[in-house]
Chain A
Amino acid sequence: MIEVDVAIIGGGPAGLASAMKACEEGVKDILIIERGMELGGILLQCIHDGFGTFIFEETLTGPEYAQRYIDEVKKTGINVKLNTMVLEIDSAKRIIAVNQEDGLLEIEAKAIILSMGCRERTRAQILIPGDRPSGIYTAGVAQRYINIEGVIPGKKVVILGSGDIGMIMARRFTLEGAEVEGVYEVMSNPGGLTRNVVQCVEDYEIPLHLSHTITNIRGRRRVEGVTVAKVDSEMRPIKDTERFVPCDTVILSVGLIPENELSKSADVGMDPITNGPIVDEQMQTSVPGIFACGNVVHVHDLVDDVSKVAEVAGKGAAGYIDGKLKKRRSPIKVRAGRNVKYVVPQIIHGEKFDEDIRFYLRVKEIEKSVKTVVLADGERIFEKKIKIVKPPEMVKLDISPDILNRITGDELIIDVEGEEDEEKP
């Protein structure tokens, strides 16, 4: 049995930043357990730039962003186990892991930080009918093939879904000499950031077909083509708009799901909307001493936000070990109100606050000239005007301690109020 102070599951951006913060806070014995052969997580295959504009105030590639944290971790006494797969965690904070060198490992931690990230939705989860030939990949898998392994998985590509990774792969395939026939998006708006629509799709004159989907995949051994169709307002394919598109590769960029098999084995309470653990403002889950941060909690659009929230978890874990985390008797529940799909953190446990709490919220629909409003006991304790809110771009609200310390009651509601809700002068 190995005993550690803080065990961190996953050495991607969330794991690295939480480890650094816990170390800065004075935790002596920190262990990062990483399934891959090196630290950095998915950043290592995200070779495009645009990372780090908030944290480092410059634009870095994924590997560069990871390198900055890896270099810092190497300077500390943080232990790392690579090529090590965690099989199980229980609520007593015992970890079972395995690797080739040590065999089976039993680790007992005073605190655990869950930072396993997320995984891609696959064909099985969106139920595309048709044959089952080779040549169908999720965007992240294709990204790994091209950027790490140096293999181009196809020559004529159809991309389903306009999430950021899908659009980034449209550009990547094109630059590497493959033909991207088009990007098909079932929604009436692009799923990713406008920057990627412009710089990955429009720059290369790749057609972006909104309100379209794939209704069939055809191919005996290899993909031979797909049937695409326009969809109606309820996202049902319109039969007489179907057309056949010959291609040898189908790339799916149809969403990400937090990876929480291990969280469930530890009986961590889950949020059915985010598919991640319910966390408080310290990023502590429902199991005392188990913290979570990054895409395992909810899918972020910027790695900078992941690093920032990971620091909260690292500090929280350090505080937990020192017995410094005080909890109020009845926690404050944070509820998603009008045009809000979800809010993280979902609960507030603190009694007194001396730092801002950052709330992350994702809206349901695009809306212009809105006001985000925080209501406590029916009283508007916070308001902020925002020019536009969109589902692909997370809204961040920093609520200051003087507001937080005034909260009475046990519920906060966060609304996004539209123009029509406001009183007209």
Chain B
Amino acid sequence: MKRSHNFTCIVCPMSCQIELIEEDDKILEVRGNGCKRGEEYVTEEFTNPVRMLTTTIPVQEGRIAMLPVRSERPVPKNLLRRCMKELSKVRVKAPVRCGDMIYENILDTGVSIISSRDLSIGNCSEVR
């Protein structure tokens, strides 16, 4: 069955409204894109949409209560919520350096979660 999907392109400020038509996951046509990059963008968004995951992890004995973390690389978009669930169990202890590995190979994606700042030892209750 032929199906149509609509996307707003975010490659440049033009924000083209692009329509992708597919049949059984095979792309038949892309229209509405002002340039080649728009076609690449919607093809990627249709076949394998990925996003960076950024969140926070509770820190013990840190200067502040939460450590910001991110995925080293983008992860599949449909796994974001499951990644969050997985990370909700994680706790770290200060000190932490920016770039430290916090969680290896999340959900077998091959992508690890890393720290996104230095966080030294402290008593965050004083900060609150």
Please measure, in the bound complex, the distance between the C-alpha atom of A193 and the C-alpha atom of B80, giving whole angstroms: 22
- How many residues on the B side are at the interface (Cβ–Cβ under 8 A)? 28
**Looking at B14, B77, B117, B128, which has the most chain A CB atoms within 10 Å of its CB?**
B117
Shortest CB-to-CB span from B62 to chain A, Å, is 10
Q: Please state if A198 and B117 are interface contacts (CB–CB under 8 Å).
A: no
Q: Please state if A195 and B70 are interface contacts (CB–CB under 8 Å).
A: no
- Which secondary structure characterizes the binding site on chain A? helix
Whether B51 is near chain A, meaning CB under 8 Å from some CB there, is yes
Residue of A with least CB distance to B84: A175
Q: Which residues in window 13-65 of A have CB below 8 A to B?
A: 37-38, 44, 47-49, 59-64
Whether B55 is near chain A, meaning CB under 8 Å from some CB there, is yes
Q: Which residues in window 70-128 of B have CB below 8 A to A?
A: 70, 77, 80-81, 84, 98, 116-118, 127-128
Residues in chain A near residue B81, CB distance under 8 A: 175
**Stretch from A117-125, A142-150, A153-161 forming part of the interface with B:** A142-150
Please measure, in the bound complex, the distance between the C-alpha atom of A388 and the C-alpha atom of B98, giving whole angstroms: 38
Q: Please state if B68 and A147 are interface contacts (CB–CB under 8 Å).
A: yes
Known A-B contacts A37-B127, A49-B52, A150-B58; the reply to A67 vs B66 at CB < 8 A is no
Query: Number of contact residues on A: which range applies?
Result: 20 to 34
Q: Please state if A175 and B80 are interface contacts (CB–CB under 8 Å).
A: yes
Q: Please state if B52 and A150 are interface contacts (CB–CB under 8 Å).
A: no
Residue of B with least CB distance to A387: B14
Please measure, in the bound complex, the distance between the C-alpha atom of A150 and the C-alpha atom of B56, giving whole angstroms: 8
Residues in chain B near residue A387, CB distance under 8 A: 12-14
Whether B15 is near chain A, meaning CB under 8 Å from some CB there, is yes
Partner of A199, one of B51, B68, B84, B98: B51
Whether A390 is near chain B, meaning CB under 8 Å from some CB there, is yes
**Looking at B8, B68, B98, which has the most chain A CB atoms within 10 Å of its CB?**
B68
Please measure, in the bound complex, the distance between the C-alpha atom of A281 and the C-alpha atom of B127, giving whole angstroms: 39
Whether A88 is near chain B, meaning CB under 8 Å from some CB there, is no
Partner of A61, one of B68, B80, B118: B68
Q: Please state if A47 and B51 are interface contacts (CB–CB under 8 Å).
A: no
Shortest CB-to-CB span from B59 to chain A, Å, is 9
Residues in chain B near residue A48, CB distance under 8 A: 54
Partner of B65, one of A149, A175, A176, A199: A149
Residue of B with least CB distance to A196: B10
Shortest CB-to-CB span from A124 to chain B, Å, is 25
Please measure, in the bound complex, the distance between the C-alpha atom of A136 and the C-alpha atom of B81, giving whole angstroms: 26
Q: Please state if A67 and B118 are interface contacts (CB–CB under 8 Å).
A: yes
Whether A194 is near chain B, meaning CB under 8 Å from some CB there, is yes
Whether A197 is near chain B, meaning CB under 8 Å from some CB there, is yes
Residue of A with least CB distance to B97: A67
Please measure, in the bound complex, the distance between the C-alpha atom of A197 and the C-alpha atom of B10, giving whole angstroms: 9
User: Which A-B residue pairs are the 7 nearest by beta carbons?
Assistant: A63-B117, A47-B68, A150-B65, A61-B116, A150-B66, A195-B10, A194-B15
Query: Interface of B with A (CB < 8 Å)?
Result: 8, 10, 12-15, 51-52, 54-56, 58, 63-66, 68, 70, 77, 80-81, 84, 98, 116-118, 127-128
User: Could you list some 8 contacts between A and B, CB below 8 A?
Assistant: A62-B68, A66-B117, A147-B68, A148-B65, A149-B65, A175-B81, A198-B8, A393-B13
